[in-house]
Amino acid sequence: MTNKDRREWMGLLARSAPDSLAALIGPLPQHSFARAPEIGAVMVRGRAGGTGAPFNLGEMSVTRCTIQLADGTVGHAWVQGRDKAHATRAAIVDALMQGATADEVRGRVLVPLAEVAARRAATRRAKAAATKVEFFTMVRGED
Amino acid sequence: MYVAVKGGERAIENAHAWLAEERRGDPTVSELSIAQIREQMTLAVNRVMAEGSLYDPDLAALAIKQARGDLIEAIFLIRAYRTTLPRLAGSNPVDTGAMVVSRRVSATFKDAPGGQILGPTFDYTHRLLDFALMAEGEAPPAAPTAPADPVAVPHILGFLDRDGLIEAATPSDLTPPDLTREPLELPADRALRLQSLTRGDEGFVLGLAYSTQRGYARNHAFVGELRIGTVAVEVDIPELGFAVEIGEIELTECETVNQFKGSKTEPAQFTRGYGLTFGQTERKAISMALVDRALRWRELGEDFTGAPAQDEEFVLSHCDNIQATGFLEHIKLPHYVDFQAELELIRSVRAAAFSQMEAAE
């Protein structure tokens, strides 16, 4: 497991719809809370001019949680919104992905979530592409 | 004489009960769900998130329902709720250049790389009432799709920047000041002004922006680029030692290209205004960019013409609709004692005047 892999699946879990993750994960393995699910806010920042100095744009709601599996593996989650059960499930997947069943969990949970996300982004791009303006010159004015 | 009174509990309770009944309206008409408001009143939800300064579509929809569609009241509810949330972190600045765009237009370059993408816009509609929407019909057919260009959609002002034709927007890693944590002090830097404008009242910021177009501190704005789409939000997680995406949000970004400045030592360059807002809120983002530019007069060595949009104290002290409505609406609440004092004063002034007049006769 590299940090890059972990970054990727944590991001995917955070962006996933609570219902989809709940349906895919099935019954939860035994776990305890190292940090109980907590709802809070993250101050989102932008940059002046898109690339310049940072400024505070506004907050977003976020739920974080840290769990420990029976074998001691620790899983973290920071997910958008106020769904504590969703944060718990995301933290459990994070822990499972560090263990022996990682490949099975990836195939059962992460791959379908990634497919849903990719489909959603592709639909958005395709609809946007259909509204792209094709300019054509009617009459040139210099005659 | 000062008389302490209390009362009105029953009247208040009954008023609230009536409010609840009025909120529901005719019970034979089906009730609005939060999901219906979130999905079908999206732009109202976006405005409440932008000015409530909390990105959470479900809560914004709930606030709109509770406020009977009064958006400033809904914004008030969201502002009150957000103060109850612990601040878990500040995000890394979002990368709007990597936005997955649903709309992206430029008024300055027709053939910009990535093209002019109209997206789900009201522009070019005829603004005629569509009576078909009055009939509860089926869902409209899915919007057409076209093969998407895999090419990224770069910031258009980047091209002017590359050639040195526009002032640079140089990155920094400073932690920005936060007006929700420390009281606003003037003069404010640009970061504070942008925070204040992005949560400011849309109508107020629009009016100020319009005033600059009509000549009160005109700054000759072109919309270099307007884009709407989703960006990922990343936070550094201390336990992990690296940044993780915690979700994605929809933003509207407006970059304006404004009148140039130059001097004997520096060649002429265009200047910038910037707007960035939660959700699909382009009227607000364009207005914000114009007012941001007007407020930069000092930094850009321009004259202060006395125009409201240039006056930082005026703009920042009055653009927040919750502050404004709080102070404005409080004057309808009981001021019996204050008014009693005024009444006593005017009676004594008048009595003194009458007795003087009588003495003179």
Check the CA dihedral B166-B172-B174-B180 and report its sign.
positive
**Partner residues linked to A132 by β-bridges:** B117
A125 vs B contacts (CB less than 8 Å): 100, 148
Mapped onto helix, strand or coil, the DSSP state of residue B311 is coil
Arithmetic mean of pLDDT over chain B: 92
Does B94 sit within 8 Å of A61, measured CB to CB?
A: no
Q: How confident is the model at residue B2 (pLDDT cuts 50, 70, 90)?
A: low
What part of A 67-126 touches B (C-beta under 8 Å)?
A: 76, 78-82, 121-126
* Spatial CA neighbour of B50 closest among B32, B33, B74, B16: B74
- Asked whether the beta carbons of residue B100 and residue A122 sit closer than 8 angstroms, the reply is no
The interface predicted TM-score of the complex, written ipTM, equals 0.94
Q: Provide the mean pLDDT of chain A.
A: 93
Q: Which band of pLDDT confidence, cut at 50, 70 and 90, is reported for residue A54? A: very high
Contact A71, B67 (CB under 8 A): no
CB neighbours of residue A128 within 10 Å: 27
Identify from A60, A74, A86, A119 which residue to disrupt to test chain B contact, counting B C-beta atoms within 10 A and taking the largest count: A60
Query: Is the CB of residue B245 less than 8 Å away from at least one CB of chain A?
Result: yes
pLDDT in tens, B233-267: 999 998 899 999 999 999 999 999 998 777 777 78
Most B CBs within 10 A among A10, A13, A59, hence the mutation to make, goes to A59
Alpha-carbon A5 to chain mean position: 13
Q: How confident is the model at residue A63 (pLDDT cuts 50, 70, 90)?
A: very high
Phi, psi of B255 (to 5 degrees): -115, 125
Indicate the pLDDT class of residue B163, thresholds 50, 70 and 90: confident
The whole-number pLDDT of residue A143 equals 56
Q: Is B119 on the interface with A (CB under 8 A)?
A: yes
Structure tokens at B246: 């915690």
DSSP A24-81: HH-SPPPEEEEEEEEEEEEEEEEEGGGTSSEEEEEEEEEEEEEEEETT--EEEEEEES
Residues from chain B that touch A55, judged by Cβ atoms under 8 A, are 176, 190-192, 194-195
Set of chain B residues whose Cβ sits within 8 Å of the Cβ of A133: 115-118
Q: Which residue of chain B is at minimal alpha-carbon distance from A87?
A: B246
CA-wise closest residue to B195 among A53, A134, A136: A53
What whole-number percentage of chain B has pLDDT above 70? 98
Least confident of B35-39, B40-44, B91-95, B184-188: B184-188
pLDDT in tens, B175-225: 999 999 999 889 999 999 999 999 999 999 999 999 999 999 988 899 999
Q: Picking from B31-35, B260-264, B351-355, which range would have the lowest pLDDT averaged per residue? A: B260-264
C-alpha distance from residue A60 to each of A80, A82, B52, B85, B193 (Å)? 7, 10, 11, 10, 20
Position B23 scores a pLDDT of: 97
From A82, A95, A85, A121, select the one nearest A10 (Cα to Cα). Answer: A95
Q: What is the mean pLDDT of residues A32-55?
A: 96
Is the minimum CB–CB distance between A42 and chain B shorter than 8 Å? yes
* Chain A hits for B112, Cβ within 8 Å: none
Rounded CA gap, A52 and A47, in Å?
Answer: 5
Tokens of B163: 């050639």
pLDDT of residue A44: 98
Bigger pLDDT: B163 or B87? B87
Is residue B257 a contact partner of residue B268, using CB atoms and an 8 Å limit?
no
Residue A91: φ, ψ to 5°: -70, -35
Contacts of B120 (CB under 8 A, 6+ apart): A131, B102, B103, B143, B280
Predicted pLDDT of residue A142: 65
- Going from N- to C-terminal start, the domains of chain A cover 3-130
In whole angstroms, what is the distance from residue B225 CA to residue B193 CA?
21
Better-predicted residue by pLDDT, B46 or B152:
B46
Closest Cα to residue A60, out of A119, A15, A114?
Answer: A15
The Cα–Cα gap between B45 and B55 comes to: 10
Q: How far is A114 from chain B (nearest CA, A)?
A: 14
pLDDT of B84 higher than 80: yes
Q: Helices marked H in chain B — which ranges?
A: 9-24, 34-40, 42-52, 57-66, 71-82, 157-162, 190-198, 202-213, 282-295, 312-318, 321-330, 336-360
Judge if the upstream peptide bond of residue B187 is cis by omega within 30 degrees of 0.
yes
pLDDT for residue B10 is more than 70 = yes
Looking at residue B246, its pLDDT comes to: 97
Q: Tell me, letter by letter, the H, E, C secondary structure of B34-93.
A: HHHHHHHCHHHHHHHHHHHCEECHHHHHHHHHHCCCCHHHHHHHHHHHHCCCCEEEECCC
CA triplet B222, B224, B227: central angle to 5 degrees?
A: 125
Question: Which is more confident, A67 or B184?
Answer: A67
How many CB atoms lie under 10 A from the CB of residue A121? Answer: 14
**Average pLDDT value for residue range B41-56:** 98
pLDDT for the residue B141? 86
Average pLDDT on B299-306 reads: 90
Tell me the C-alpha distance between B361 and B357, whole Å. Answer: 6
Whether the predicted pLDDT of B134 surpasses 90: no
User: Quick one: what percent of chain A has pLDDT higher than 90?
Assistant: 89
pLDDT for position B4 = 64
Residue contact B278–A57, C-beta within 8 A: yes
Which residues does B123 contact at the CB level (< 8 Å), separation at least 6? Answer: none
Pairing of strands B54-55, A54-69: parallel
Quick count: other Cβ atoms within 10 Å of Cβ B37? Answer: 22
pLDDT band at B154 (very low <50, low <70, confident <90, very high): confident
Distance CA B14, CA A136 (A): 65
